[in-house]
Structure 1
Amino acid sequence: MRLTLFLFLASIYVLSIKPETYIGKWRIEGGSIIEIYKNGDHFYGKINKRAEQPISNLNGLDNKNPNPSLRQRQLLGIDILNNLSFEDGELSGGTIYNADSGKTYTVKVWIDSDNIDLCFIRAYKGILFKTFEATRVKK
């Protein structure tokens, strides 16, 4: 009986998080804002606002990019979340670009089951990961 109840409640949670729930602006710890949007079947996230006190790239350019031809581009507006797919209530299967280091990682994004205005962005490097908390920016 308990297992049935658990499975039922879990299915309600998964059904309550729709792909459109992710679309919008999210403020990450530190003050940066990422705007998540959908293009076709995939989700992307672009830098909408930089942190008040960034830890690198102080001139606002993509200085650490491994591609030298991209080091002079403005960080505002570039996609840092790429090719994420919605499955089982989460966004996964894509990558996140860290402009502070110039490195790209696999990523998973999910929304808190108790608060749809809170999401988590987890970047993976092998078995290691770092999770960032983000809150929805209200208009």
Structure 2
Amino acid sequence: MLKRLLSFLLLVGLLLTVATTIQAAPNPDAVIGVWKNGEGTGMVQIYKRGDKYYGRIVWLKVANNPDGTPRTDVNNPDETKRKNKLKGLENMREFTQIEESKWENGKIYDPKNGSDYSCEMTLTDPNTLEVRGFIGVSLFGRTDVWKRQIAKK
């Protein structure tokens, strides 16, 4: 009986050791989810379409104008788009995953000034995303730290 118990405990210990040394497979879609920007003024849902990643605005701290109407893309350089609602606007486009925790070659649109920037994203931990917008080379840009709000389902 004691011999059987010791064998069982040894087997359990061996299985636990093996289980803790095996690392989980990396999640290629780890960036998918809802993220709040560093200012806390908006949330963007990042999703995958085909083999590229995109984002759209799903929440705004100030969702409406003073008259109660939904905020629109008033700073867009294309006059035909200035009446488009900000909520639901696809503001991140065509990111490609290049490493386990890095997505590059994308574009990000800033509705505050109506400008489009080159962009890259780096997942620094499961709930923190560094989003770097830049013109030309990444050296000349700005990084915003986003926090995960809702994980991918």
> Considering the TM-score relative to the shorter chain, is it more than 0.5?
yes
Worse-superposed segment, 82-91 or 34-43 = 82-91
User: Shift of residue 138 of structure 1?
Assistant: 3.6
- Correspondence for 1:26: 35
Q: How does 1:32-71 map to 2 (within 5 A)?
A: 32-52=42-62, 60-71=71-82
User: Shift of residue 82 of structure 1?
Assistant: 0.3
Letter of the 1:72 counterpart:
K
Residues of 2 paired with 1:76 and 1:52: CA distance? 10
Letter of the 2:84 counterpart:
R
Specify the SS of the correspondent of 2:53: strand
- Correspondence for 2:88: 77
**1:98-133 per-position Cα deviation (integer Å, ceiling 9, x unaligned):** 000000000000100xx2111100001134110000
Residues of 2 paired with 1:138 and 1:85: CA distance? 22
Letter of the 2:87 counterpart:
L
- Correspondence for 2:107: 95
User: Shift of residue 88 of structure 1?
Assistant: 1.1
Residues of 2 paired with 1:104 and 1:62: CA distance? 13
Indicate if the aligned counterparts of 1:30 and 1:51 stay in contact, CA closer than 8 A.
Answer: no
User: Shift of residue 87 of structure 1?
Assistant: 0.9
Residues of 1 paired with 2:134 and 2:109: CA distance? 11
Residues of 2 paired with 1:27 and 1:120: CA distance? 11
User: Shift of residue 52 of structure 1?
Assistant: 4.1
Gaps of 5+ in 2: 1-22
Q: What is the aligned-residue identity percentage? A: 23
Indicate if the aligned counterparts of 2:63 and 2:70 stay in contact, CA closer than 8 A.
Answer: no
Does 1:120 find its partner at 2:130? Answer: yes
Gap change, CA 1:53 and 1:59, over 3 Å in 2: closer
- Correspondence for 2:146: 134
Aligned residues: 120
Letter of the 1:69 counterpart:
T
TM-score, structure 2 normalization: 0.72
**1:54-109 per-position Cα deviation (integer Å, ceiling 9, x unaligned):** 9xxx9610000010000001000111110101111211111000000000000000
Indicate if the aligned counterparts of 2:63 and 2:87 stay in contact, CA closer than 8 A.
Answer: no
Indicate if the aligned counterparts of 2:33 and 2:150 stay in contact, CA closer than 8 A.
Answer: no
CA RMSD of aligned residues (A): 2.2
Runs of 4+ in 1 over 2 A off after TM superposition: 51-54
Give the number of the structure whose alpha-carbon radius of gyration is greater.
2
